[in-house]
Chains A and B, each alone.
Chain A
Amino acid sequence: DSGVTQTPKHLITATGQRVTLRCSPRSGDLSVYWYQQSLDQGLQFLIHYYNGEERAKGNILERFSAQQFPDLHSELNLSSLELGDSALYFCASSPPAGARTEAFFGQGTRLTVV
């Protein structure tokens, strides 16, 4: 158990809908990262939050947004869903000790868009 909790584990929804994925980082970790894992794109970095502030953006679509709340949990919002958004979405957290520390990954949320 990495200490990173993601809910829900599975999500099935229809095209055009909006969903929210939730992530609770490890106790004490200030950074939260979101990654998408799909068969055609592999593992891709989406966005990084540090103590409530956005720090870096990767290949995140405009239909997707994220935020980190004062209690440090994070939510990834996916809207106007398309079939191609079906993927495994991972959240990871890391401590504030600098870049040399590793990221700890949650179990992921498997999103299926039908």
Chain B
Amino acid sequence: AQSVTQLGSHVSVSEGALVLLRCNYSSSVPPYLFWYVQYPNQGLQLLLKYTTGATLVKGINGFEAEFKKSETSFHLTKPSAHMSDAAEYFCAVSGSSGSARQLTFGSGTQLTVLP
């Protein structure tokens, strides 16, 4: 069984400030971890993913995330927020076995960027 907890359903930052969105997961098998972004009235777009290898992964639009097994965390960061980053962000986990490829999502974090 897998689960994802995103701490903070709403996060506000000033333009140019650090963005930190928190994600903790639970998985009975080695996890694959993903961050997706959803803009209003649009589908989900992949920001980045961790499968194996380097634990610090870089994604699109300047985002990165670090897989910390000991903390069961996969927090998303961006050094400097832009107005265009305002959206809803979802952390997701899937199993590494073929029978567990579907995604389990967190409840999402709405990011607001203040001018």
Contact = CB atoms under 8 A, between A and B. Distances in A.
B44 interface: yes
B44 A105 contact: yes
Nearest to B34: A102
Given A99-B100, A99-B101, A100-B96, A43 B90 contact: yes
Between A45, A90, A99, A103, the greatest number of chain B beta carbons within 10 A of the residue's beta carbon is seen for: A99
Interface string B72-115: 00000000000000000010001111111111111110000000
Instruction: Name the prevailing secondary structure of the A interface residues.
Output: strand
A40 B46 CA distance: 23
Given A42-B107, A100-B51, A58 B45 contact: no
Given A42-B108, A99-B94, A100-B96, A106 B43 contact: yes
23 contacts: A4-B43, A33-B102, A42-B108, A43-B90, A43-B108, A45-B103, A45-B104, A48-B101, A48-B102, A58-B102, A90-B43, A92-B103, A99-B94, A99-B97, A100-B51, A100-B96, A102-B34, A102-B49, A103-B103, A105-B36, A105-B44, A106-B43, A107-B43
